[in-house]
Amino acid sequence: MTIRKSIHVKRPVERTFRLFTEEIDTLTIADFAVGAPMVLAEAAQYPIGKYAEITRWYGGLASLPAWKKAIVPLPG
């Protein structure tokens, strides 16, 4: 059996994390995968304050009308 290697498997870190440093006009599965737990960042006291680009990225995601509509507010 022959196993084909995808050229996407060995991407440089800079390319993989470009969503944190560039303006991208479409959402990817990464936005949903990383964005969903970010809803709990403040309540869970995630130490993200020192990561300005992650904070900026999530701020943009959280400002989308569809994202606001989908998020259920935390009690309390």
Q: How far is CA 18 from CA 2, 44, 68, 71, in A?
A: 32, 26, 24, 25
pLDDT score recorded for residue 17? 52
Alpha-carbon distance of 8 to 57, in angstroms, equals 23
Query: One-letter amino acid identity for 27?
Result: L
Helices (H), 18-64: 29-38, 52-62
User: Is 48 a domain residue?
Assistant: yes
Total of domains in the chain:
1
**Residue 65, both tokens:** 């009308």
What pTM was computed for the model?
0.62
Q: pLDDT tens for residues 41-54?
A: 888 898 988 888 88
User: Is 2 a domain residue?
Assistant: no
User: Is 6 a domain residue?
Assistant: no
